[in-house]
Structure 1
Amino acid sequence: MRKVKLFTWAALAGILGSGMVLSGCGASEKDNEKTKIEMVQYKPEAVKAFEKMEEKFNASHDDIELVIESPNEAMTVLKTRFIKEDQPDIIGIGGDINYSNFLDADMLMDISDFEGLADIKQAYLDIDKNLEFIPKDGVYAVPYAANAAGILYNKDMFEENGWEIPETWNEFLELLDTIQASGQQPLYFGFKDVWTCLAPWNAMACDLAPADVCQQVNRGETTFSVEYRELAEKILQLLPYAQEDPYAYSYNDACTAFARGESAMYCIGSYAVPQIKSVNPDMNIDSFVFPANDSADGQILNSGVDLQFCVMEDCKDKEAAYEVLRFMLEDENIQIYLDDQNAVPCKEGDFTLPSMLDGMKEYIEQGKMTDYQDHYYPAEMAVDAMIQTYLMNQDTDAWLKKFDSDWKRYNRDLIRKVQEYQEENGEGGSRS
């Protein structure tokens, strides 16, 4: 029986690490001739959209009852339920390291035969594939909705001043200089909340580091000191264009300042727009891809899978679960979610996107995008706090060295597993 070494959730690791299989009874069950399918999804802010879809599904299906739970701290709830062998049939989670951990624990069903996958944009299927610690045969998630990150900008301010959207790094620096010379504030950051330090980092990394840099490092093919140097150097160049002491201001402070016209641009994801518009509902916001390199054709959108659906391995009624997935993937139901969450569809089709994504629409339609680097970082490593410290101290060599050493420390088991896989499959790589 396979011993899982990597699962980072402490309580669950005690069970899985001992080799015990979570055989669970599964949540699907017959009730008054109906099959009950339970879904637990991790976005409580989207509860209204899911309530609409749950009601709509149950009104149109006589043989299946869909129950959707949207708890606060859903991942904690799920971990507790797994320990109790009380799994739902379907989970709605993000495409991040939590998904990687589920895969590694063999808890998700291979849904390669689900016909709806044919309609999902290949870029998002590829993003999920890259999240596998060790390559696995099959498909284990249906990407549903994504977000996009780059630069939000005050469209009215740009039009009033005749500023043009930059397409290269040098053009971006020239724009920052122009705005600053006009006596206006180019950028605003909320680095008091350390997670916001990841926003520019992730967006710039799309152009400056390989999408699979973490996997390459795990295979012993390169180091972060090599692959992250340009990224680390360039992110420091943003600081002179931000407000004084950005570490004293929170995410909410930054959203409020941008909403009030105190800066022309804000480096953050589309997920911030509702917060910004809660301060200024009439603000004219648009966006553009972060131009981190000097090739106008080389820019890539930072977009990750924000919500995807996975069928649990122990689901008792696969066909009923598939029917739920088919329903969720109907265009009108996807649009309900997009409208509610200002999200990007992972499915091909003619959807209405939020106006603040107009500047990124071409990249979305062409699938010219790559994932957030932090989706591969273990939580224990606290990379967001590491970046904040680096922005304060600005010692690039020391920071890159620390990143490499901390990566080995917090990914020791994973690196060993990757190297064992390489040896078993006759692949290259080096011992670390």
Structure 2
Amino acid sequence: MKRRSVRRLSLLTAGTMLAALALTGCQSGEKNSGKVEIELVQYKPEAVEVFKELEEEFNASHDDIHLTIDSPNEAMTILKTRFVREDIPDIIGIGGDINYSYFLDSDMLADISDYEGLSDIKPAYQDILKALEFVPEEGVYGVPYVANAAGVLYNREMFEEHGWEIPENWEEFTALCEEIEAAGIRPLSFGFKDTWTCLAPWNALAVDLAPADVCSQVNKGETKFKDEYREVSEKMLELLDYGPEDPFAYGYNDACTAFANGESAMYTIGSYAVPQIKSVNPDMYIDSFVMPGSSEADENVLNSGVDLQFCVMEDSENKEAAYEVLDFLLKDENVQKYLDEQNAVPCKEGDFDLAPMLDGVKSFIEEGRMTDYQDHYYPSEMAVDAQIQTFLLKQDTDAFLKKFDTDWLRYNRDIIRKVEDYEANKGSSK
């Protein structure tokens, strides 16, 4: 072992240990004599049914490997607890976010550069994972599986009825909102009572208006958020003019219901909201377009990140069998099965059928014109979603940005020190 045991503890808070009682549901399944046992723990409980089906199909078609796929609630908490107890699965299925960065930084993930399936993964999503490294690492540590996309959902039937055009820059977008209001319809739905929903328009604007590596730049001391996030903040406030009178009185479900019932023409949320919307109005014709945050159309990109990736654990003694599991999961028909159930975006190259609500962003996906969610770099302790909600309530841009910079230094102190050491050592090695 390298230095994992000590650094695993740094991943965890004391509260994580409360998950220990839940571990009984996360152990490996039935042991099969003579077979290699592979356990995969994935963090998306909403996808439990499709993973059950994939597990059954794999085991029915393999005589030498038995696969157990666990999909527990609170999977990240449970995983962190298991890591402390040295009870580590062979493969984990997690998002491309700060947790991946922490696991990688703690030397818990195996280098899978030799995995041939990586050649089929879109470079844009491999780059997104690479950018999540606190400092540059040699090797590859995750296989992007599916992504999601966030921008603006819109009522396509309503748009066609009124002849409204899809905007390509900020001025066209605000003009469209004015046009929709003139027709007696609310342009936007918001559910800002639930703080996490504040991140959806924030991320979609930030990918257009701030550097993709802004968090890395701040860690290096090259810039500050008060300089890079000012326009993002100002345009977040502008969006409020086109939503409900009190956007903080409505939660996520309320906003989905309002949009489903035709109370607004658009909703600044990701494709993940479509199942909730369609549970209210199954026949609704939903499409989407990229948030046109910039005045320059060619500067606007799709906000898309790795929603699910598979990582082989460093402690796994069955790397070859783990690769065979990955091969199975990456078969086109199995990727398509997941896409159909979860309305996801494939990270694998290929001719896949995408959900209809992605029609308007399909060209961005095909061309790789996409940038990761900025909040994937934010530490959870910083509670940026709550900070944005408070900012939208108080509308004090200077105070918000000052707090953002102050809190960033507070909650990223160790990472910033690591970056400083890396940069210093890099310079001395030249």
Report matched runs for 1:177-192 at 5 Å.
177-192=178-193
How far apart are 1:147 and its partner, in Å?
Answer: 0.3
CA deviation vs aligned residue, 1:179-233 (integer Å, no higher than 9, x gap):
1111110001000000000000000111100111000000000000111111111
In 1, the alpha carbon distance for the partners of 2:244 and 2:102 equals 39
SS in 2 for 1:425: helix
Q: 1:99 to 1:354 in 2, by over 3 A?
A: same
Which amino acid in structure 1 is aligned with residue 264 of structure 2?
S
2:331 maps to 1:330: yes
Q: 1:124 to 1:12 in 2, by over 3 A?
A: farther
How far apart are 1:107 and its partner, in Å?
Answer: 0.3
Which residue pairs with 1:10 in the alignment? 13
SS in 2 for 1:315: coil
SS in 2 for 1:255: helix
Which residue pairs with 1:57 in the alignment? 58
How far apart are 1:424 and its partner, in Å?
Answer: 1.0
How far apart are 1:155 and its partner, in Å?
Answer: 0.5
Which amino acid in structure 2 is aligned with residue 245 of structure 1?
D
Which residue pairs with 2:305 in the alignment? 304
In 1, the alpha carbon distance for the partners of 2:9 and 2:309 equals 22
Gaps of 5+ in 2: 18-26
Tell whether the 8 Å contact from 1:6 to 1:414 is kept in structure 2 after alignment.
Answer: no
Which residue pairs with 2:390 in the alignment? 389
Report matched runs for 1:218-367 at 5 Å.
218-367=219-368
CA deviation vs aligned residue, 1:321-378 (integer Å, no higher than 9, x gap):
0000000000000001000100000000000000000000000011110100000000
Q: 1:321 to 1:28 in 2, by over 3 A?
A: farther
In 2, the alpha carbon distance for the partners of 1:218 and 1:343 equals 32
Instruction: Please give the TM-score of this superposition, normalised by the length of structure 2.
Output: 0.94
SS in 2 for 1:244: coil
How far apart are 1:295 and its partner, in Å?
Answer: 1.5
Which amino acid in structure 2 is aligned with residue 304 of structure 1?
G
Which residue pairs with 1:145 in the alignment? 146
Which residue pairs with 1:22 in the alignment? none
Which amino acid in structure 2 is aligned with residue 216 of structure 1?
Q
How far apart are 1:31 and its partner, in Å?
Answer: 3.7
Tell whether the 8 Å contact from 1:34 to 1:62 is kept in structure 2 after alignment.
Answer: yes
In 2, the alpha carbon distance for the partners of 1:400 and 1:128 equals 27
Tell whether the 8 Å contact from 2:260 to 2:277 is kept in structure 1 after alignment.
Answer: yes
Q: How many equivalent residue pairs?
A: 417
Which residue pairs with 1:85 in the alignment? 86
Higher mean alpha-carbon deviation, 142-151 vs 412-421, is at 412-421
SS in 1 for 2:40: strand
Which amino acid in structure 1 is aligned with residue 423 of structure 2?
Q
2:208 maps to 1:204: no
Which amino acid in structure 2 is aligned with residue 191 of structure 1?
F
SS in 2 for 1:303: strand
Which amino acid in structure 2 is aligned with residue 132 of structure 1?
E
Q: 1:186 to 1:13 in 2, by over 3 A?
A: closer
Tell whether the 8 Å contact from 2:193 to 2:251 is kept in structure 1 after alignment.
Answer: yes
Which amino acid in structure 2 is aligned with residue 270 of structure 1?
S
How far apart are 1:5 and its partner, in Å?
Answer: 9.4
Which amino acid in structure 1 is aligned with residue 295 of structure 2?
D
Which residue pairs with 1:19 in the alignment? none
Tell whether the 8 Å contact from 1:123 to 1:369 is kept in structure 2 after alignment.
Answer: yes
In 2, the alpha carbon distance for the partners of 1:410 and 1:163 equals 45
CA deviation vs aligned residue, 1:248-288 (integer Å, no higher than 9, x gap):
10000000000000000000000000000000000000000
Which residue pairs with 2:98 in the alignment? 97
How far apart are 1:10 and its partner, in Å?
Answer: 1.3
In 2, the alpha carbon distance for the partners of 1:79 and 1:336 equals 29
Which amino acid in structure 2 is aligned with residue 358 of structure 1?
D
In 2, the alpha carbon distance for the partners of 1:8 and 1:54 equals 29
How far apart are 1:135 and its partner, in Å?
Answer: 1.0
Which residue pairs with 2:24 in the alignment? none
Report matched runs for 1:416-427 at 5 Å.
416-426=417-427
CA deviation vs aligned residue, 1:38-58 (integer Å, no higher than 9, x gap):
000000100111011111111
Higher mean alpha-carbon deviation, 28-37 vs 255-264, is at 28-37
Which amino acid in structure 2 is aligned with residue 79 of structure 1?
K
CA deviation vs aligned residue, 1:367-400 (integer Å, no higher than 9, x gap):
1101000000000000000000101111111111
Instruction: State, as a whole percentage, how many aligned pairs show the same letter.
Output: 70
Tell whether the 8 Å contact from 1:29 to 1:316 is kept in structure 2 after alignment.
Answer: no
Gaps of 5+ in 1: 15-25
CA deviation vs aligned residue, 1:277-334 (integer Å, no higher than 9, x gap):
0000000000000000011222100000000000000111110000000000000000
Which amino acid in structure 2 is aligned with residue 169 of structure 1?
W
